[in-house]
Every structure is written in structure tokens, then in C-alpha cells.
Structure 1
Amino acid sequence: MADLKETEANQVPAEVPVKEQTPDVREKVAKPRKRTGKQGGAVRARAARSAPQASSSKAVTSPTARTARKIYSKKERALKLGEIEKLIGRGESIRAAVQKAGISEQTYYQWKKAAGQTTPSDGLKDLVKLEEENARLKTLLADRLRNENAELRKKLGLA
């Protein structure tokens, strides 16, 4: 056993290990990319096709297929909100009107909130202001009519 250790220590390695001969080059592994709205649907579809099927012969499908998110401009949002308001005005439910417009109820309420539509408290404040202005104008008109009536009585000699 001692002879074996001595011979190993005395021997000079004739070959250089393979790792030292080749330069240290690592293959670049593609990092997973963040999905954007446009890619989302395609990535899901590919993943669904490549995923192994369940043991049963029938594949389970979801009732509604998710699509990629669409980003609407302010004009498009205003048009959709107007369309929904018209449908609601005709007597349709909010849920049905929103479905026909092609957006979710949550999106509808968020857009409505962002559009700054009047809330009940704002409407009440506006109503109070209008009533005050209406009362002021009525008194102004009544004063003018009294003055005209008094002038006419003087001209006719009835006063």
C-alpha cells in the first residue's frame, strides 16, 4: 500500500485534464422574458398545446378563452362608456351592456371613476347651487316687474 502511494507521488501527470485544456466558455442560457400584453395569449396557447394531456381521453377546456389585454385610448374609453350609457338608458342591465361593449364590469367602473363622472354628492352640490341662483334670479325679476308696474301706474295716473 505504501508503494502505491509513493509511485503516485513520484509520477508527474503526463496529461493535462480536459477542463484545463479548453477555455472556460459557458453557453448562454436564454433568460425567461417578461410577457407583454401582446405575447400573453400566444404564450398561453403554446403552453397549453405542449402540456401533457390528462389521463382521460377528453381534454378539459375552459368556458371562456382568455385573450390578451387591450389598451384603449381615452377616446375609445369615452366611446365605450357612451355606448354603455345608451344601452343602460334603453333599459338593459349594466352587466349585459358591458358584455356587449366587450369589457368587464370592473373595467367599466374603473373607467367611469377615472372619467370623473359626477358622483351623487357632486350632483347634490350642483343642485343646491342651481336652486340658490334660481331664487336670486326670481327676486331680481320680481323687483324689475314691481318697478315697471309702478312706472306704468304713474304714467296712467292711477297711483
Structure 2
Amino acid sequence: MADEPNLDASTQAVEATPAAVPAETKKRRPPAKRKEAAAPVVTPAVSPSKSRRHSESEKAEKLAQIERRLSEGSTLKAAAADAGISDQTFYQWKRAVPTADAKPAATASQDDGLADLLALEAENIRLRGLLAEKLRTENSELRKKLGLA
């Protein structure tokens, strides 16, 4: 009896199951074949979806177009969209472009500034002369009192 294996219900059930089925291996695909290089695809220099730089003349034309549309009663957003730019771009361009009204005002203020500067320099020369004369008279009076003159 010692030589007989201990057979109980749990071991019999294990032995009764068939052997495990080996897992199927994955099918492997061959590496993808490389396509022959066709003629290079030529993309346009500027695509409509990408931003691009505008020349100064284009900026001026678009600003004028938007100003015309605004004077006709259109909204800024609609006018800018018709011109193909955003309203923020319009504001940036408008701020960067000097207007005709600003130039004469700046020139007039420069002329006034120059005239003011010349007047101040003449006043300064006059006051220095007065101060020098006053100091000479005081100096001569002090020398007389001390008996040095």
C-alpha cells in the first residue's frame, strides 16, 4: 500500500483533463515593400491655409479696402474677413503705418520745440550776463571794504 499512489477525487479530475493545447503562434507579415520614389510633389510657395507675409503695398491696399468698407457701414470683422486678414492684424497694421495727419502735427511740434529751445538759450545767455555783472559789482565792493582795491 505504500507503493500505491494516493488517489483521491481531486487528482483523478486533473488527470482526466486532456493535455493543454499549445498556443498558436502569431502569423508574421513580411516587411512592407518600399514604394519607388515618384516625381517630387511640388507644393505651392504659399498655401491659402498658411500665414504669409504681405508687402507694404498689399498692406496699404487692404487697409484702404477695409476703411472703405467701414465707411460704407460694414462691421470691422466682416470687412477684415473680406480682405483676408483678421481684425487683430488690421489693428497691428494700422498702428504700424504712420498716418498723414500725424506727420504735420509732429513737424509742427518739432518746429515749436526748436523755437522754444532757441528762446531758452537766448534767455540763458541774458541771465548769465546779469549774474556775471552782479558778481563783479559785489566783488569790487568787497575789495573796497577790505582795502585791497
Q: Per the shorter chain, which TM-score range?
A: 0.3 to 0.5
TM-score (norm 1): 0.33
Structure with max Cα Rg: 2
Q: TM-score under structure 2 normalisation?
A: 0.36
Q: Which has the higher contact order (CA 8 A, sep 6+)?
A: 1
